[in-house]
């Protein structure tokens, strides 16, 4: 928690886009972040409070100079307490995390037949190419319809990149010769920043793309517009 607060301070982040999600995929992921932060805060507070209490209670005073505390070695009660509590805390973290990870990572076969809007994403140093279902191909500009399942097929032409639209979903590696799929569900209308999140070369920082979520009608109209082949 302290580390998190210091991190906020040193990075000057006043607003963390990952915690302001605009899709159901992003909301599920943000829930996991809050859940682990919550569990972490409970553990941290408990440890700090007990620490302060013990420091005060067992501090050295003249009256207590001869005090010998009760021997608790082998105490079943204590052993069970510090075994069961961490087990419960880990279960609280593990169950939703594993469940959501499986839900958000369906098999390649399940994805290729999945209903929704399919978009082929190709990453290369240092740009993104988006090919829509009707063949429309655009560089560094992603337009998707709201309220749909957007199925991305990700591939890299050269080195490892990482596809990331912080407000819509977590990052996913884009690896050469290893096509990968990723689904973003129910994005809300708006403009979002997309970027490469894996250092991939000298121009890595310029590997960004505009993401615009539009209505279904506007998306249909967009598909009919001529391609932008020039890139940025
Ligand atoms: Cu990159």
Please tell me the distance between residue 93's alpha carbon and the centre of ligand 1 in angstroms.
Answer: 31
pLDDT value for 228: 64
Boundary-marking domain end, from 104, 138, 169: 104
pLDDT value for 231: 45
Please tell me the distance between residue 192's alpha carbon and the centre of ligand 1 in angstroms.
Answer: 18
Instruction: Say if 230 falls within a structural domain.
Output: no
Q: How far apart are CA 158 and CA 201, in angstroms?
A: 11
Burial environment of residue 109 by CB neighbours within 10 A (0 to 12, 13 to 18, 19 or more)? exposed
Q: Do the strands 117-124 and 149-156 form a parallel or antiparallel pair, or are they unpaired?
A: parallel
As a whole number, the mean pLDDT across the chain is 89
Instruction: Name the domain count of the chain.
Output: 2
Q: How far apart are CA 9 and CA 3, in angstroms?
A: 10
Residue 26 has pLDDT above 80, yes or no: yes
Do both 197 and 121 map to the same domain?
Answer: yes
Q: Is-contact 197 110, C-beta < 8 A?
A: no
86 CA to centre of own chain: 24
162 sits in which H/E element? strand 161-165
Instruction: Give DSSP secondary structure letters for 147-161.
Output: TSEEEEEEEESSS-E
pLDDT value for 232: 44
pLDDT tens-digit readout, 35-79: 999 999 999 999 999 999 999 988 888 888 888 878 888 889 989
Do both 126 and 216 map to the same domain?
Answer: yes
15 sits in which H/E element? none
Residue 97 has pLDDT above 50, yes or no: yes
pLDDT value for 110: 76
Percentage of the chain with pLDDT > 70?
Answer: 94
Q: Which domain holds residue 97?
A: 2-104
Do both 100 and 117 map to the same domain?
Answer: no
Please tell me the distance between residue 39's alpha carbon and the centre of ligand 1 in angstroms.
Answer: 34
Please tell me the distance between residue 37's alpha carbon and the centre of ligand 1 in angstroms.
Answer: 30
- Tokens for 201? 């070369």
Instruction: Say if 232 falls within a structural domain.
Output: no
pLDDT tens-digit readout, 170-220: 999 999 999 888 999 999 999 999 999 999 999 999 999 999 999 999 999
Please tell me the distance between residue 113's alpha carbon and the centre of ligand 1 in angstroms.
Answer: 28
- Tokens for 96? 């939703």
Query: What CATH code is carried by the domain that includes residue 46?
Result: 1.10.287
Boundary-marking domain end, from 40, 72, 104: 104
Boundary-marking domain end, from 104, 131, 160: 104
Please tell me the distance between residue 141's alpha carbon and the centre of ligand 1 in angstroms.
Answer: 15
Do both 137 and 187 map to the same domain?
Answer: yes
Span 88-114, average pLDDT: 87
């Amino acid at each position: 928690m302290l580390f998190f607060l210091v991190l906020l301070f040193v990075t000057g982040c006043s607003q963390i886009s990952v915690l302001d999600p605009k899709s159901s995929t992003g909301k599920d992921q943000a829930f996991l972040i809050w859940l682990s932060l919550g569990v972490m805060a409970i553990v941290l507070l408990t440890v700090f409070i007990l620490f302060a209490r013990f420091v005060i209670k067992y501090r050295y005073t003249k009256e207590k100079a001869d005090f010998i505390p009760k021997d608790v070695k082998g105490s079943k009660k204590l052993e069970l307490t510090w075994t069961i509590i961490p087990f419960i805390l880990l279960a609280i973290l593990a169950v939703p995390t594993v469940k959501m990870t499986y839900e958000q990572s369906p098999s390649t076969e399940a994805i290729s037949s999945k209903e929704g809007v399919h978009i082929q994403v190709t990453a290369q140093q240092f740009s993104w190419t988006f090919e829509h279902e009707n063949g429309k191909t655009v560089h560094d500009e992603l337009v998707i319809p709201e309220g749909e399942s957007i199925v991305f097929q990700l591939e890299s032409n050269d080195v490892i990149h990482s596809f990331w639209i912080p407000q819509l979903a977590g990052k996913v590696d884009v690896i050469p010769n290893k096509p990968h799929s990723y689904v973003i569900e129910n994005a809300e209308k708006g403009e979002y920043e997309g970027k490469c999140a894996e250092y991939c070369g000298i121009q890595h920082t310029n590997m960004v793309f505009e993401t615009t979520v539009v209505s279904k009608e506007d998306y249909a109209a967009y598909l009919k517009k001529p391609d932008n082949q020039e890139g940025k």
